[in-house]
């Protein structure tokens, strides 16, 4: 269903219920108070007519799958509005308070009022359902906002974890560099130790040869 149509429908139901209460009050008034109340009712009826026209226009611009249902509702609202107008006309008459129940029955007004009351009851139920739908929409929006906040929190945590991993990667890269340098130092030290071994071996060999020569000359003499 069109959200725009639902908005107009909610406004009309509230306006219709308000007009019904005002008509009940006005029927018991006299003089200026009654004139003032009737003026308020007339303005409310005009506003209701405006809402009916808006709903009619919106319903005719909806897809065929939902148009029939909206137009059926609209017919009920138009009938309700006609009953309100009849009620306004009745209580606006000079002898409205003296009109008897028998006269209303003869004119068929009693049946009209009964139908109007039933329709207003349905309108009130529709208003309640619309309010419940509005509450569910608000709850859905609240849940969506909470989900969005949770998503943002998760993204922030993931960003922090990514930064931690990048920092760990940089640390490991530094350790690799240090290990590489250590390998080079150890390799240089190993080469130096091998060279020193050869030098020491040469010196020992020279000393051994010198000792042998000395012993030879001593033994020869």
Q: Are 23 and 96 in contact (CB under 8 A)?
A: no
Q: Provide the Cα torsion 142, 147, 149, 152; round to 10°.
A: -160
The whole-number average pLDDT for the span 169-195 is: 82
What pLDDT, on the 0 to 100 scale, is given for residue 194? 85
pLDDT tens digits, one per residue of 89-105: 999 887 655 553 444 44
Is 144 or 198 the better-scoring residue by pLDDT?
Answer: 198
What pLDDT, on the 0 to 100 scale, is given for residue 179? 80
- Assign 164 a pLDDT band (cuts: 50, 70, 90): confident
Q: What CATH number was assigned to the domain covering residues 1-91? A: 1.20.58.400
Maximal CA-CA distance, the chain: 173
For the record, the structure tokens of 28 come out as 């018991």
Is 196 or 138 the better-scoring residue by pLDDT?
Answer: 196
Residue ranges per structural domain of the chain: 1-91, 192-220
What pLDDT, on the 0 to 100 scale, is given for residue 101? 46
pLDDT tens digits, one per residue of 7-62: 999 999 999 999 999 999 988 888 888 989 999 999 999 999 999 999 999 999 88
What pLDDT, on the 0 to 100 scale, is given for residue 15? 93
CA separation for the pair 163, 198 (Å, rounded): 53
Q: Are 113 and 87 in contact (CB under 8 A)?
A: yes
What pLDDT, on the 0 to 100 scale, is given for residue 97? 57
Is 44 or 180 the better-scoring residue by pLDDT?
Answer: 44
């Amino acid at each position: 269903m069109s959200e725009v149509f639902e908005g107009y429908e909610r406004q009309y139901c509230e306006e219709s219920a308000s007009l019904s209460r005002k008509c009940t009050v006005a029927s018991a008034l006299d003089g200026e108070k009654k004139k003032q109340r009737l003026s308020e009712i007339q303005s409310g009826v005009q506003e209701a007519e405006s809402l009916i026209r808006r709903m009619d226009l919106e319903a005719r611009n909806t897809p065929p799958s939902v148009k029939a249902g909206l137009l059926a509702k609209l017919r009920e609202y138009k009938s309700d509005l006609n009953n309100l107008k009849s009620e306004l006309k009745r209580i606006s008459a000079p002898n409205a308070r003296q009109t008897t129940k028998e006269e209303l029955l003869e004119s068929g007004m009693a049946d009209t009022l009964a139908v109007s009351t039933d329709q207003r009851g349905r309108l009130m139920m529709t208003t309640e359902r619309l309010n419940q739908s509005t509450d569910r929409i608000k709850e859905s929006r609240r849940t969506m906002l909470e989900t969005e906040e949770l998503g943002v929190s998760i993204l922030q945590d993931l960003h922090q974890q990514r930064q931690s991993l990048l920092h760990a990667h940089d640390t490991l890269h530094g350790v690799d560099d240090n290990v590489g340098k250590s390998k080079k130092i150890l390799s240089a030290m190993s080469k130096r130790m091998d060279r020193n071994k050869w030098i020491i071996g040469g010196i020992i060999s020279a000393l051994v040869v010198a000792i042998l020569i000395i012993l030879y000359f001593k033994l020869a003499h």
